[in-house]
Amino acid sequence: MKTTRNSQRLHRAKRVRSKVSGTPERPRMRVFRSLRSMYVQIIDDTKHTTIVSARLEDTKAKNSVEGAKKLGELIAKKAMDKGIDEIVFDRGGYKYHGKVKAIAEGARDAGLKF
């Protein structure tokens, strides 16, 4: 079987998911990056439901680090409206730098606790 970059990322994501789980008190914030956009979900793993979601198109920003920071601020605002102030961060197998780090910093700046 050929090892692709995406299969390696999925393997890392599985390894992280074995240790990280969202509860109703501290749901999981999941990040997904594609070549054109970024998506963030806040998930309650006990009920298997998505509580809040946001995508880059909702912010009307570009697919850049600055856009990622705006996406983090947007998801934090939506989460605070639902009464969520504490989360567990799931980077989805991506390295914690660049856009993924900017999403986390934007959410922290807007008031979410990790």
**pLDDT of the residue at 1:** 64
Query: What is the distance between the terminal CA atoms of the chain, rounded to a whole angstrom?
Result: 37
Residue of 89, 93, 86 lying closest to 103 (CA atoms): 89
Q: What is the mean pLDDT of residues 87-102?
A: 94
Backbone angles phi and psi of 86, in degrees to 5 = -135, 135
Cβ proximity of 54 and 31 under 8 Å: no
Cα distance between residue 66 and residue 82, in whole Å: 25
Q: 42-94, pLDDT tens digit by residue?
A: 999 999 999 999 999 999 999 999 999 999 999 999 999 999 999 999 999 99
Q: What is the mean pLDDT of residues 103-113?
A: 95
Q: Where are the domains of the chain?
A: 5-109
CATH class, domain 5-109, is: alpha beta
